[in-house]
Amino acid sequence: MGWDFSTEPEFQVKLDWVEKFCREEVEPLDLVFPYAVRSKDPKIKALVKGLQDQVKAQGLWALFLDEELGGPGLGQLKLGLINEILGRYGSAPQIFGSAAPDTGNMEMLAAYGTEEQKQRWLVPMLNQEMWSAYSMTEPQGGSDPNLFKTHAVRDGDEWIINGEKWFTSAGRVADILFVMCTNGMFVVPRNTPGVEIMPEPRSHNHIIYRDVRVPADHLLGPEDGAKVLAQRRLGGGRIHHAMRTIAQCKLAFDMMCERALSRESHGKIIAEHQMVQEKIADSYASIQMLRLFVLETAWKIDNSSTQETRTDIAAVKYTMAKVLREVSFNALHILGSLGTTNLTPIQAMYSAAPTMGIADGVDEVHKATVARNVLKSYRPHEGYWPTEYIPAKRAAAREKFEPMFVADPDLRTIADGYAKYIAART
């Protein structure tokens, strides 16, 4: 099945609208009213709602959800094309109702929640009346669920949760926490007694769950089904992160190219210096390769499933962190001292790159996963020599031609001549 690189004209109209809307409406809101989406001020909320209503009118709200889960059902490829625009603007994902960590949590609710759970949590989350966080990683086990210790015990009509979670992004400001236990996924309101949020770190929170009691119906999906739910959540989340990372890389690239044509050093604009040209050329190639890899992976998901595409998703995950790190580093150097300040997006972008290599599973784990999955399609060779060992292949080829040599001695003579020539070279 061939991959068509073209975009349907009607969808290109949507992409053009998204780009203009983000540039002319979303970015100014970000600059004048930072974090407006989470503001409780009625006037600010009205500004946000006005933009979100425009998004909904375009049929672009909650882009990540499939049609059967209540979303537009665009598919991953089209979602990727939109996300590489949204990722350039801070609050654009929230304005489009498609921001992590809520996206993955809403997807779990939509796919595994009961109707009552959907009404209680999913509907308010879709309307951004409620915010969530994903509490998975643990201090001693990292992101390896086989090492998790947080556990829930059934006690009549309640579950009692005990454990410790680390790196729960936005946990401090969430209304509900999706807590991954060894025996299930639980929805825990943040203000539940026993939920202790440590003072540090501020953004990616350390949370202790000490005898936290939740009603029995706060179990999401089947008991002991946490790993299945987590894979559903994280598989899609990783590809969405990659899509938005492309936007960040392209933003850094635009800034470095503009700056290279604007500054002078040693008697000429810095774009004429070969080391600057090398950074621009390397960055361009890296971004193009990442973009094609991400979009091809999205296309594969659309034509198979997240599970069947897990090897490519894992490879995309660690590749995006590497490219973001390299491109933002190149941009920072070309911008010079200005690039080290918070007066442009570059410093924050470069600082965030290492986090991208840790969030949703460290790069090393994903590399090991890719290697294991790739090696499954290979087998060890027999004997001492690899399959491509030329002397053995040449001998086998001689055997194939032997009947022809018997019928035509002259052909054997020609072949022997080539054999002598090859022997002389080696």
Kindly report, residue by residue over 148-194, the tens digit of the pLDDT: 999 999 999 999 999 999 999 999 999 999 999 999 999 999 999 99
Residue 230: pLDDT over 90: no
Residue 168 backbone dihedrals phi, psi, to 5 degrees: -85, 95
Query: Residue 236's pLDDT is what?
Result: 66
Query: Which amino acid type is present at position 166?
Result: W
Residue 21 has a pLDDT of 98
Q: Tell me the C-alpha distance between 299 and 309, whole Å.
A: 10
* Tens-place pLDDT, residues 294-344: 999 999 999 998 889 999 999 999 999 999 999 999 999 999 999 999 999
Domains, the chain, with CATH or none: 9-113 (1.10.540.10), 132-220 (2.40.110.10), 227-375 (1.20.140.10), 390-425 (no CATH)
Q: What is the DSSP letter of 199?
A: S
Cis before 101? omega within 30: yes
Residue type, 59: G
Contact 290, 244 (CB under 8 A): no
Q: How many angstroms from the chain centroid is the CA of residue 200?
A: 26
355-414: per-residue pLDDT in tens? 888 888 889 989 999 999 999 999 999 999 999 999 999 999 999 999 999 999 999 999
Closest CA to 252 of 295, 205, 287, 227: 287
Question: What is the pLDDT, as a whole number, of residue 90?
Answer: 92
144: confidence class by pLDDT, cuts 50, 70, 90: confident
CA distance 366 to 372: 10
Query: pLDDT band at residue 6, thresholds of 50, 70 and 90?
Result: confident
What are the pLDDT digits (tens) for 62-76? 988 888 777 888 888
